[in-house]
Amino acid sequence: MELTTVWFALIAVLWAGYFLLEGFDFGVGMLLPVLARDERERRLLINTIGPVWDGNEVWLLVAGGATFAAFPEWYATLFSGFYLPLLLILVALIVRGLAFEYRGKVDSPQWRARWDLCIIAGSFVPALLWGVAFGNIVRGVPINAQHEYVGSFFTLLNPYALVGGLTTLSLFALHGAVFLALKTDGDVRERAGRLAVRLSLPAVALAAGFLLWTQLRHDDAWGWALSAAAAAALVGAVLAARARREGWAFVATGATLVLAVAALFVTLFPDVMPTTLTGGESLTVTNAASTPYTLKVMTWVAVCFTPIVLGYQSWTYWVFRRRLRVEHIPVSHP
Which contacts of 52-55 are long-range, i.e. CB under 8 A and separated by 24 or more positions? 52/21, 52/25, 52/313, 52/316, 52/317, 52/320, 53/22, 53/25, 53/100, 54/97, 55/313, 55/316
pLDDT in tens, the chain (334 residues): 689 999 999 999 999 999 999 999 999 999 999 998 888 899 999 999 988 888 899 999 999 999 999 999 999 999 888 999 999 999 999 999 999 999 888 888 899 999 999 999 999 999 999 999 999 999 999 998 888 888 888 889 999 999 999 999 999 999 999 999 999 998 999 999 999 999 999 999 999 999 999 988 888 889 899 999 999 999 999 999 999 999 999 999 999 999 999 999 999 999 999 998 888 888 999 999 999 999 999 999 989 888 888 898 899 899 988 898 888 777 765 4
Q: Tell me what pLDDT residue 1 has.
A: 61
Q: Tell me what pLDDT residue 331 has.
A: 75
Q: Tell me what pLDDT residue 280 has.
A: 82
Could you tell me if 28 and 176 are in contact, meaning their C-beta atoms sit under 8 angstroms apart? yes
Q: Tell me what pLDDT residue 205 has.
A: 94
Q: Tell me what pLDDT residue 309 has.
A: 86
Q: Tell me what pLDDT residue 224 has.
A: 93
In DSSP terms, 99 is beta-bridged to none
Distance in angstroms (rounded) separating the CA atoms of residues 7 and 313 = 22
Which one-letter amino acid corresponds to residue 265? F
Q: Homologous superfamily of 3-323 in CATH?
A: Formate dehydrogenase/DMSO reductase domain (1.20.1630.10)
Name which of 225, 223, 227 is nearest 266 in CA terms.
223
In DSSP terms, 283 is beta-bridged to 273
Report how far apart, in Å, the C-alpha atoms of 293 and of each of 70, 114, 289, 297, 309 are: 11, 50, 11, 6, 24
Distance in angstroms (rounded) separating the CA atoms of residues 18 and 35 = 24
Distance in angstroms (rounded) separating the CA atoms of residues 154 and 151 = 8
* Ranges of each domain in the chain: 3-323
